[in-house]
């Protein structure tokens, strides 16, 4: 089995604040293989963005504390120098962000910005960078690239800007593309286009993708594997089929129940997950999801569940319920109608 | 297994479950806490308070410590140093030995910093000068803020004609070079030896009100603009719309929704405004068109000291140092207030 | 573009007109103030006042006086000063190079040092240098410029004049550049330094605040994610955006100074520039000179304001193509 492209080992990221130490990421481990698409799903504050920003070492906070290892192609990025990190960024690992409106520098043309990245990592002759930039623009589906290359970011719509960001990210053929909520700020119709674009380009460029989102529906199509994060930890991970057809964690059920699905009988109504995410400063004892979990029982209050594979290889979850119990309760949660007829 | 009904479950998150109390704090309390942590700002506040206290205690100093009347000429006076009687203004100063020189700093309670050309106690005058400078500085800042606030509320809130007219007026005052406007007004209003009579208001020519109002007037547009901008944006905000939906009247809206938010802007601006007005007043007084005799301000004393600069420099230096200390303290305080009220400031946290 | 220029020119004209009228009214129509009496000196007799009024045409109606003054100022260009009885416009023109020398020199110094200080403080954030530099800047804006000038004079002209440090400092005054460049420089050096202290403090703070604010923008994060060097991110991205504010503020301040705003420095250092001329005219109620200097100053300020808007559009494409 080939070495994974990215291996995160027991990563912990905490922030010192006036109110105490905030444990944004509390010991997570996962891998991303070459060419794979991994979806990282969770609500705001689950730690998903912080995790991937730490991979790129883009967190600029003097109050941040890191523990654990982030191995990229075998190298621990946590211990690497700033200069070495700069060579990794943009060239081997690239990132696109949530808000395309503010992610591009307003005073430079998009052509200039793409060329800047190309020139930083490559030794190109005059004109080569510009040609490559135009090529990238047409690859991401921007019409009339020869004209638009000299336009400014504010002259593009949101969806177009995100395409430019993708062009920028892929310009140096990175092996890993991190997409942090790339569609959240866009219209639903554009969302689908962007996701399709990412999928196509992934095949074309051969990059792995780490797609961060709070919406399971977004990863339904393009992800190979999915990690579900809650309160700074991974509560379930598995491949797409496992997560969608045999989810093991009540939080995942909640997420699934809250999206409308065409492949199931119509549910009476969409379920919502009540309550708020827990404080990351003072974790409650036991399972962090317990206060919001309708399936909770005594053991959940006392013992912190570990992330282990119970139902199949590669499919891990952090819940005390037995596999049979889970399956029984799950259908009731996700599909109330089905339960009525049972 | 029953359907999961969120309401039926009635999930109550007690303290133990959420893992401890998250205490909500109002923005003011948060700001207050931040400010208290800023030791430099607190020290500046203390310094400023000290300067104010000392300046307003000027009469006490003059009477009990220096035993002089700093407004009275004392050209032929004498004081006793080490048992010897010394003339306050001595003959034989200057390059040719033909001038008169007041005594220099004695570092005693009388004539601590020496005397000026009129034989007056410089130290006592500096304290009195502080009183005038501070009164005008604080007064004009408050005056400007009040006027600007009223106009900005009217213009921002009611819009339309009121806004158009007031804003054009403010633009005009703003476009007028500040120093020219101040000097013009000061020159004109101070020329009349009988004082100023506008309607039933009569002001004597040496009243501190004249420089106060002039300086306040000149700075009104600088406060008006940001407040009006804020009122305009507040007007569009949801909580105002909500209040309107609840049937609040315009007046109530202004007082309960707009004013508190605008107040914080004014409070943050205040120390900086006062620093600016003190500097402006000192400049006008230095040019002899600010505070008028017999009153003294730090600026006028610097002007007094100009002739004596090379022989008795303390007359000019002392009030300048006071200005620097006061303005510096106000600037630091202003910065501290602004940082305390700005939620984005990245402070390094201990522990 | 042409429309923009025409609109600004019109606005400039309107502002100049409004300001000149305002000044005119302040000096000649403020209730309770009588300029003829002021010009007549102490304890004037009624005849003296009357003759002064007639001599200076002060007994004619306001609009007529205003019109006449404008005519003399712009059309026949032979406006005569009340005080010196010489033509006003040549008087201002001879004062202009003095002010320009002072302001240009100070501007060069303050731009260089404020950028150094502002960028230095932002880059060295977290170390002791940042607060240190900022306190220096704060002190800079807390010192009254005329007092600083006096202290500088005290040291260079008197106290330490005999030491090797300052023995070369000439007496206060101004020598034209064309006449004696070394003297010109020596006489202007300390006025330059004194005038720039205030502005270095102010601009360093503004720049630092802008840099820090821009630092937290998303596009700076993108720039880092692109793998650019810190140096490049600082200069090509953060500084480039922060300079927009810096430049617009600078334009206005510079214009105010050129128009006569450096009068305190000119007074303290004995430089016969436009500021000093303005001040003297104001205090002696020399209305023709007042009017001309006010129009002169207002002209520069409105011109600068228009230029700054143009510059802003050039620097920030969002404004340009909106």
The 3-class secondary structure across chain C, one letter per residue, is: CHHHHHHHHHHHHHHHHHHHHHHHHHHHHCCCCCHHHHHCCCCCCHHHHHHHHHHCCCCCCHHHHHHHHHHHHHHCCCCECCCCCCEHHHHHHHHHHHHHHHHHHHHHHHHHHHHHHHHHHHHCCCCCHHHHHHHHHHHHHHCCHHHHHHHHHHHHHHHCCCCCCCCCCCCCCCCCCCCCHHHHHHHHHHHHHHHHHHHHHHHHHHHHHHHHHHHCCHHHHHHHHCCCCHHHHHHHHHHHHHHHHHHHHHHHHHHHHHHHHCHHHHHHHCCCCHHHHHHHHHHCCCHHHHHHHHHHHHHHHHHHHHHHHHHHHHHCHHHHCC
In this complex, the chains that touch A, judged by 3 or more CB pairs closer than 8 A, are B, C
Give C124-176 pLDDT, tens digit per residue. Answer: 887 888 888 999 999 999 999 999 999 999 888 887 777 777 778 888 888 88
Q: For A127-131, A181-185, C27-31, C205-209, which range has the lowest pLDDT when averaged over its residues?
A: C27-31
What would the mean pLDDT of A17-22 be, rounded to a whole number? 83
Identify the H or E element spanning A282: none
Residue from B36, C202, B345 nearest A62 by CA: B345
User: Residues B230-238: what's their mean pLDDT?
Assistant: 77
Using the Cβ of C22 and the Cβ atoms of chain B, whether some distance falls under 8 Å is answered with yes
- CB contact under 8 Å between C318 and A152, yes or no, is yes
pLDDT at B112 over 80: no
Q: Is B328 on the interface with C (CB under 8 A)?
A: yes
Interval B288-312 mean pLDDT: 87
Q: Give the containing element (helix H, strand E) for A142.
A: none
Judge whether residue C96 has pLDDT over 80: yes
Most confident of B17-31, B249-263, B311-325, C297-311: B311-325
Q: Which residue of C has its CA nearest to A113?
A: C223
For residues C207 and C210, give the distance between their C-alpha atoms in angstroms, rounded to a whole number.
5
Contacts of residue B328, defined as CB under 8 A and 6 or more positions apart, other chains included, come to B44, C138, C139, C142
Please list, in sequence order, all residues whose beta carbon lies within 8 angstroms of the beta carbon of residue B229, skipping any fewer than 6 positions away.
B156
What lies within 8 Å, CB to CB, of B293 at 6+ separation is: B206, B300
Chain B: give the shortest CA distance to residue A15, in Å.
9
Position C294 confidence tier, pLDDT thresholds 50, 70, 90: confident
Give the pLDDT score at C71.
77
- Range ranked top by mean pLDDT from B195-209, B298-312, C280-294: B298-312
As a residue count, chain A comes to 342
Residue C71: partners with Cβ closer than 8 Å, 6 or more residues away: none
Q: Where are the alpha helices (DSSP H) in chain B?
A: 6-9, 15-18, 27-37, 39-56, 58-60, 122-158, 160-175, 178-191, 209-236, 238-245, 250-253, 259-286, 298-307, 314-341
In the predicted structure, residue C113 carries a pLDDT above the cut 90: yes
pLDDT of residue B25: 60
pLDDT mean across residues, chain A = 84
CB-based contact A86 C229, cutoff 8 Å: yes
pLDDT score at C98: 92
Contacts of C228 in chain A (CB under 8 A): 86, 90, 116-117, 120
Report chain A residues touching chain C, CB-CB < 8 A.
56, 58, 60, 62, 82, 86-91, 94-95, 97, 99, 102-107, 116-117, 120-121, 152, 154-155, 165, 168
Angle of CA points C97, C101, C107, to nearest 5°: 140
Nearest 5°: phi and psi at B12? Answer: -110, 125
Q: Could you tell me the sign of the dihedral formed by the alpha carbons of A170, A172, A175, A180, in that order? A: negative
CA distance A31 to A239: 12
Mean pLDDT, chain B, as a whole number?
77
pLDDT for residue B195: 63
Contact: B18, A274; criterion CB under 8 Å: no
Task: Please provide the average confidence, as pLDDT, over all residues in chain C.
Answer: 84
Rounded Cα–Cα distance for residues A279 and B16 (Å): 11
Residue A342 pLDDT class (50, 70, 90 cuts): very low
Torsion angle defined by CA atoms of residues C9, C14, C18 and C19, in that order, rounded to the nearest 10 degrees: 0
Neighbours of C224 (CB within 10 A): 22
CA distance A13 to A278: 17
Cβ count within 10 A of residue C13:
11
CA distance A317 to A247: 9
Closest CB to C143 among B198, B299, B324: B324
Burial of B16 (0-12, 13-18, 19+ CB in 10 A): exposed
Q: What is the DSSP string of B282-332?
A: HHHHHTTSSS-TTS--HHHHHHHHHHTTTT-THHHHHHHHHHHHHHHHHHH
Least confident window among A113-127, B118-132, C16-30: C16-30
Look up residue B55 and give its DSSP letter: H
B70: Cα separation from own chain's centroid: 25
pLDDT in tens, C47-58: 777 776 666 666
The percent of residues above 90 in pLDDT, for chain B, comes to: 25
How crowded is residue A270: how many other Cβ atoms within 10 Å of its Cβ? 10
Measured distance CA(A253)–CA(A235) in Å, rounded: 12
**Is B81:B69 a contact under the CB 8 Å cutoff?**
no
Distances A187 to A112, A190, A259 between C-alpha atoms, Å: 27, 5, 17
Looking at the partner chain, which of C126, C215, C218 has a beta carbon nearest the beta carbon of A103?
C218
- Subunits with 3+ C-beta pairs closer than 8 A to B: A, C
Contact B328 C142 (CB under 8 A): yes
Give the full edge-to-edge strand order of the sheet including A6-17.
A20-32, A6-17, A64-72, A75-76
Kindly identify which residue of chain A lies nearest to residue B22, measuring between CA atoms: A279
**Which pLDDT score, from 0 to 100, does residue B15 have?**
39
Of all residues in chain A, the percent with pLDDT exceeding 90 is 29
Chain A residue numbers with beta carbons less than 8 Å from the beta carbon of B344 are: none
Whole-angstrom distance, CA of residue A23 vs CA of residue B309:
64
- The CA distance from B296 to the nearest CA of chain C, in Å, is 16
Residue of C nearest to A108 (CA): C317
User: Nearest Cα to C240, choosing from A71, A37, A54, A108?
Assistant: A108
- Torsion over CA of C159, C163, C168 and C173, rounded to 10 degrees? 0
Residue of higher predicted confidence among A256 and B149? B149
- Does the pLDDT of residue B325 top 90, yes or no? yes
Q: Say whether C222 and A103 touch across the interface (CB within 8 A).
A: yes
Contact between C149 and C239 (Cβ < 8 Å):
no
CB nearest to B176's CB, from C22, C31, C138: C22
What distance in Å separates residue A76's CA from the closest CA in chain C?
18
Band (A110; pLDDT cuts 50, 70, 90): very high
A25-34, C205-214, C280-289: the lowest-pLDDT one: C280-289
| Average pLDDT score over residue span A323-336 | 70
Lowest mean pLDDT among A323-327, B3-7, B226-230, C213-217: B3-7
């Amino acid at each position: 089995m080939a070495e994974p492209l990215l291996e995160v080992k027991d990563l912990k990221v905490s922030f010192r604040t006036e109110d105490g130490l905030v444990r944004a990421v509390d010991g997570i481990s996962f891998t991303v293989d070459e060419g794979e698409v991994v979806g990282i799903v969770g609500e705001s504050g689950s730690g998903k963005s912080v995790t991937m920003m730490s991979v790129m070492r883009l967190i600029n906070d003097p109050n941040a504390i890191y523990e654990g290892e982030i191995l990229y192609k075998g190298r621990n990025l946590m211990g690497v120098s700033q200069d070495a990190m700069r060579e990794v960024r943009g060239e081997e690992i690239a990132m696109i962000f949530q808000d395309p409106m503010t992610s591009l520098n307003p005073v430079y043309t998009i052509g200039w910005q793409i060329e800047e990245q190309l020139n930083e990592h490559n030794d190109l002759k005059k004109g080569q960078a510009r040609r490559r930039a135009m090529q990238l623009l047409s690859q991401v589906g921007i019409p009339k690239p020869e004209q638009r290359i000299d336009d400014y970011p504010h002259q593009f719509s949101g969806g177009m800007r995100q395409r430019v960001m993708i062009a920028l990210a892929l310009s140096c053929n990175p092996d890993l593309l991190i997409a942090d909520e790339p569609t959240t700020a866009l219209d639903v119709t554009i969302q689908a286009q962007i996701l399709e674009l990412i999928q196509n380009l992934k095949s074309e460029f051969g990059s792995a993708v780490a797609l961060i989102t709070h919406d399971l529906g977004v990863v339904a199509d393009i992800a190979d594997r999915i990690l579900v994060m809650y309160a700074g930890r991974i509560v379930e991970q598995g491949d797409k089929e496992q997560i969608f057809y045999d989810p093991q964690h009540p939080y995942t059920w909640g997420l699934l129940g809250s999206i409308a699905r065409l492949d199931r009988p119509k549910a009476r109504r969409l379920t919502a997950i009540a309550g708020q995410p827990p404080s990351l400063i003072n974790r409650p004892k036991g399972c962090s999801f317990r206060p919001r979990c309708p399936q909770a029982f005594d053991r959940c209050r006392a013992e912190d569940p570990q992330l282990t594979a119970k139902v199949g290889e590669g499919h891990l979850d952090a819940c005390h319920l037995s596999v049979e119990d889970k399956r029984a309760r799950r259908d009731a949660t996700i599909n109330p109608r089905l339960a009525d007829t049972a | 297994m029953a359907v999961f009904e969120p309401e039926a479950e009635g999930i109550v998150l007690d303290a133990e479950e959420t893992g401890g109390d998250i205490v909500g704090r109002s923005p003011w309390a948060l700001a207050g806490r931040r400010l208290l942590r800023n030791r430099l700002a607190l020290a500046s506040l203390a310094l400023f308070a000290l300067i104010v206290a000392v300046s307003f205690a000027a009469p006490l100093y003059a009477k009990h410590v220096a035993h002089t009347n700093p407004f009275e000429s004392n050209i032929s006076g004498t004081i006793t140093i080490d048992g010897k009687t010394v003339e306050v203004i001595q003959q034989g100063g200057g390059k040719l030995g033909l001038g008169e020189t007041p005594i220099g700093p004695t570092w005693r309670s009388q004539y601590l910093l020496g005397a000026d050309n009129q034989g007056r106690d410089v130290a006592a005058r500096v304290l009195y000068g502080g009183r005038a400078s501070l009164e005008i500085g604080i007064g004009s800042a408050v005056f400007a803020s009040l006027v600007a606030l009223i106009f900005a509320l009217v213009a921002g809130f009611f819009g339309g004609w009121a806004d158009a007219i007031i804003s054009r007026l403010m633009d005009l005052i703003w476009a007028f070079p500040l120093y020219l406007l101040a000097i013009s007004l000061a020159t004109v209003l101070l020329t009349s030896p009988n004082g100023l009579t506008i309607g039933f208001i009569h002001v004597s020519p040496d009243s501190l009100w004249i420089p106060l109002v002039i300086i306040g007037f000149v700075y009104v547009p600088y406060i008006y603009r940001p407040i009006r901008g804020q009122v305009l944006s507040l007007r569009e905000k949801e909580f105002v719309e909500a209040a309107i939906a609840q049937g609040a009247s315009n007046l109530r809206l202004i007082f309960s929704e707009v004013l508190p938010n605008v107040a914080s802007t004014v409070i943050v601006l205040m120390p900086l405004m006062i620093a600016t007005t003190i500097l402006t007043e000192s400049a006008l007084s230095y040019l002899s068109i600010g505070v008028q005799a017999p009153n003294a301000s730090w600026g006028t004393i610097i002007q007094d000291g100009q002739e004596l600069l090379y022989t008795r420099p303390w007359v000019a230096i002392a009030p300048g140092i006071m200005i620097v200390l006061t303005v510096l303290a106000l600037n630091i305080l202003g910065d501290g207030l602004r940082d305390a009220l700005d939620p984005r400031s990245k402070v390094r946290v201990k522990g | 573009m042409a429309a923009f220029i025409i609109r600004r020119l019109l606005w400039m004209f309107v502002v100049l007109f409004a300001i000149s009228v305002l000044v005119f009214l302040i000096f000649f129509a403020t209730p309770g103030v009588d300029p003829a009496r002021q010009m007549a000196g102490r304890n004037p007799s009624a005849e003296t006042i009357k003759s002064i009024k007639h001599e200076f045409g002060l007994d004619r109606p306001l609009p007529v006086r205003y019109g006449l003054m404008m005519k003399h100022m712009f059309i026949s260009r032979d406006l005569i000063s009340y005080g010196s009885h010489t033509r006003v416009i040549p008087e201002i023109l001879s004062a202009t190079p003095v002010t320009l020398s002072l302001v240009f020199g100070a501007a060069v110094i303050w731009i260089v040092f404020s950028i150094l200080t502002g960028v230095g403080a932002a880059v060295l954030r977290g170390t002791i240098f940042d607060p240190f530099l900022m306190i220096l800047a704060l002190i800079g804006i807390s010192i009254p410029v005329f007092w600083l000038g006096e202290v500088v004079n005290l040291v260079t002209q008197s106290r330490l004049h005999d030491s090797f440090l300052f023995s070369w400092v000439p007496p206060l005054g101004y020598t034209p550049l064309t006449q004696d460049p070394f003297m010109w420089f020596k006489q202007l050096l300390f006025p330059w330094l004194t005038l720039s202290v205030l502005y270095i403090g102010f601009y360093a703070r503004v720049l630092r605040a802008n840099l820090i604010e821009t630092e937290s923008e998303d596009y700076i994060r993108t720039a880092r994610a692109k793998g650019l060097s810190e140096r490049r991110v600082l200069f090509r991205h953060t500084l480039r955006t922060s300079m927009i504010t810096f430049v617009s503020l600078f334009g206005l301040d510079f214009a105010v100074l050129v128009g006569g705003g450096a009068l305190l420095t000119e007074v303290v250092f004995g430089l016969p520039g436009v500021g000093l001329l303005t001040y003297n005219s104001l205090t002696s109620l020399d209305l023709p000179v007042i009017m001309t200097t006010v129009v002169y100053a207002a002209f520069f300020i409105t011109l600068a304001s228009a230029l700054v808007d143009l510059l802003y559009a050039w620097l920030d494409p969002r404004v340009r193509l909106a």
